[in-house]
Amino acid sequence: MTGANMKIKAIYENNVLRPLGELDLPNKARVSITIQESFSDLLDELGEPEAREDIDAVLKETRSRRYYD
């Protein structure tokens, strides 16, 4: 799997990064790891939350309010 990109989930424990599933890699393969912790990663894991309100309607109402006279 030379030059290919994979996205995997892993757990870091006791100074070791362990994949949560099987990897299609040969034994002793060298890999490069990029660690990203962000809100978008959480959305990838949990899925897109369903909106409770129509965001367009909320924005329209908010923009039409007069906050200062």
Average pLDDT over all residues of the chain: 81
**Boundaries of every domain in the chain:** 10-64
| CB-CB contact of 35 with 25 (8 Å) | no
Which comes out higher in pLDDT, residue 42 or 29?
Answer: 29
Q: What is the pLDDT of residues 6-22, one digit of tens each?
A: 888 888 899 999 999 99
Q: Is the pLDDT assigned to residue 53 strictly greater than 70?
A: yes
**Cβ 33 vs Cβ 17: under 8 Å:** yes
pLDDT value of position 9 = 84
Stated pTM of the model: 0.42
pLDDT of amino acid 57: 86
Q: How far apart are CA 15 and CA 5, in angstroms?
A: 24
12 vs 18: CA distance, rounded Å = 6
pLDDT over 60 (residue 61): yes
